Amino acid sequence: MKKDIHPKYVKSVITCACGNVIETRSTKPEIRIEICSQCHPAFTGKQKYVDTEGRVDRFQAMVNASKVKAEGKKEKKTRVRKKKASQDIKNILAEQEQKKSEREALKKKKELKKNQEEAKTVKVSKLAKTAKKTAEQNDK
């Protein structure tokens, strides 16, 4: 082992919140703990509420503060959502009307093209008939 790189291993005193003192060896001379084998419910068989530093109270206060803050935000969001919902519905209806009118315009264009093509075929067939008649009359 290299010299002077390892921590010192000294006698240590472990003190529990219940008052129990345990002597052992460690790299730290003094250690404070919240619960030990003398007061832990698993060893004693008694149910005990363990909160030495008020951590549970702090957590409860933090949770309550976040709930109050969230309720304030929730009220604002519902107002905004109602406005947005009505605007969204108006926008959707306007888009649907626009699409409907576009579809109708496309139908009309298709019908016009179809009618124009039919008119062309009718003209061509009439011209073909007249040309056939004139050809027959010229042959006679």
**3 state SS of 31:** strand
Q: Does residue 138 surpass a pLDDT of 80?
A: no
Confidence of residue 49 (pLDDT cuts 50, 70, 90): low
If one counts every other C-beta atom within 10 angstroms of the C-beta of residue 16, the result is: 19
Cross-strand pairs, 15: 21, 32
Element (H, E) at 30: strand 30-33
| Cβ atoms of residues 13 and 22 within 8 Å | yes
Question: What are 6-26's pLDDT values in tens digits?
Answer: 899 999 999 998 899 999 999
State the pTM of this model.
Answer: 0.34
pLDDT at 23: 96
pLDDT at 74: 65
Amino acid at the residue 21: V
Please name the residue that has the structure tokens 């206060």. 61
pLDDT at 50: 59
pLDDT at 12: 96
Note the maximum CA span of the chain. 139
pLDDT at 32: 94
